[in-house]
Amino acid sequence: MPEIRLHDTRSGELRPLVARDPGNRVGIYACGPTVYNRIHVGNARPYVVFSWLKRFLAHEGYDATFVANVTDVNDKIYDAANARGIGSEELAREMTAHYVADTDALGLPRPDHEPLASETIDGIVGLIQALIDRDAAYAVEGDVYFRVRADAQYGDLSHRRLEDLDQGEGIEGAALKEDPLDFALWKAQKEGEDTAWDAPWGRGRPGWHIECSAMAEELLGVGFEVHGGGSDLVFPHHENEAAQTRLARGQELAQIWMHNGMLEMRGEKMSKSVGNISLLPDVVDEWGRETLLLFFAGGHYRQPIVFAPDTLRDAQGRLKRIREAGRRLVDGPSPAALRVHRDAFFAALANDFNTATALAALAAWVSEANKLAEVGRDDLVEMLDVFGLAELARGGANGDGPPPEALELLAARENARAGKDWAEADRLRDALRDAGWVVRDGPDGAELVEA
């Protein structure tokens, strides 16, 4: 089995992936969304990156379990529900359903487990009690706080000094804390909060950080292999997760902390608070899942990537070249002469999951294949399958391309658009969608891809 190395945020080094048992079982936990609103395309990046990581590890012979949680208990959910005049549970259920539908549109398998914070309360309470028993946390007036200075290693993950830290909790609980650095593990129920649970310290609900520690431990145990998430979560969320488990259980929550970079628009991180967001379903509808996935693959996961029409058009161009090559390939093994590019593809993924370098190797395979006659597609299928795009190796989902009747509808739509008959153009677009085809308008004109 080849060595796989991943960048560990805590050590700042590439570390070999080491399975905990002889069965090569590997656990991956990635922090999912807080479901108070629809997710934007930036929220999809960790979902995609760690879904791909599981697929790659399975290819390499590992038995990988991928867990992506849903935070359905949070201050933001209470606030958003109150603003809409509905219950927090109702809002969380609604937005969780949207999240599942929106990420389903990416065409990747669901994570193996998608735990809800609201369904992990017993584990959360037990973990908090363990911290209190070890004098690493204290209860006061129904709240429970973690003693940050009790952890000698606090700050190691984010590489920050204690005197420079701010938990971002503002004035909430400030009068109750022994130290301003301490953060909430449990919050007493407040007026306007309609969802709460009983606990030894009083009725309330968990803080954000303890939720993930408990969910990860419940499904993967302590000391699992990879904990992932966006780089914006390194502090305070992941720093606090690591500290909680370390003091409660006496060992590290995860071996490797792996963080993806942000999407940027206009030089800023894509963020709901900034307002520069593009909702995931809107992007998939406009550009297609294949273009979006190739856009994500075009950048190293640790680096920020610019989300803009020109970068998406670049991905669209890659998609077209791959699909065109796939249409002329035949079933069967690929020529030995192309194996060097296939090997380079998987070597790039083994070296800190470098999808950008892997995609360049895939492009070289396509370029060389275009120069040969009667090329088998097995290598291309194998490579694209990591990205959930194996159907492109056949030119589409079935390899036959659009049928004549679909092409006739497309031509009629283009005529309607040329005549500015927008209603007819929309009707024909909908007819194509009903027939299983989506129209993509690109720089080289409209084309059909399977829905």
Give residue 386's domain range: 308-450
Would the pLDDT of 397 be above 70?
Answer: no
Indicate the number of domains in the chain. 2
Cα distances from 151 to residues 221, 238, 244, 250, 277, in angstroms, run: 21, 14, 9, 11, 37
Buried-exposed string 168-194: b where 16+ CB fall within 10 A, e elsewhere? ebeeebeebbeeebbbbbbbbeeeebe
Q: List, in sequence order, the alpha helices (H) in 22-68.
A: 44-59
Provide the 10 A C-beta neighbour count for residue 269: 17
Residues 350 and 431 both lie in one domain: yes
Residues 371 and 226 both lie in one domain: no
Q: Give the phi and the psi of residue 224 in degrees, each rounded to 5.
A: -70, 175
Would the pLDDT of 404 be above 80?
Answer: no
Q: List CB contacts of 248: < 8 A, sequence separation 6 or more.
A: 127, 130, 131, 134, 136, 213
pTM assigned to the model:
0.87
- The sign of the dihedral angle between the CA atoms of 223, 224, 225, 229 is negative
Among 230, 265, 300, the domain boundary falls at 265
Confidence of residue 271 (pLDDT cuts 50, 70, 90): low
Q: Please indicate, yes or no, if residue 134 is contained in any of the structural domains.
A: yes
Residues 118 and 250 both lie in one domain: yes
Provide the 10 A C-beta neighbour count for residue 82: 15
Residues 214 and 314 both lie in one domain: no
| Helix, strand and coil percent figures for the chain, each rounded to 5 | 45, 20, 35
Residues 110 and 19 both lie in one domain: yes
Mean pLDDT confidence for 82-103:
97
Mean pLDDT confidence for 10-14:
98
pLDDT tens-place string over residues 194-225? 999 999 999 999 999 999 999 999 999 999 99
CA-to-CA distance for 81 and 244, rounded, in angstroms?
29
CATH of the domain at 353: 1.20.120
Q: Please indicate, yes or no, if residue 57 is contained in any of the structural domains.
A: yes
Residues 232 and 107 both lie in one domain: yes
Percentage of the chain exceeding pLDDT 70: 94
* Residue 150, pLDDT score: 97
Residues 235 and 314 both lie in one domain: no
CA-to-CA distance for 142 and 131, rounded, in angstroms?
16
CATH of the domain at 218: 3.40.50.620
Q: Please indicate, yes or no, if residue 303 is contained in any of the structural domains.
A: no
* Residue 66, pLDDT score: 98
Residue in the block written with tokens 């998430």: 229
Residue in the block written with tokens 């879904």: 51
Mean pLDDT confidence for 445-450:
76
Provide the 10 A C-beta neighbour count for residue 48: 22
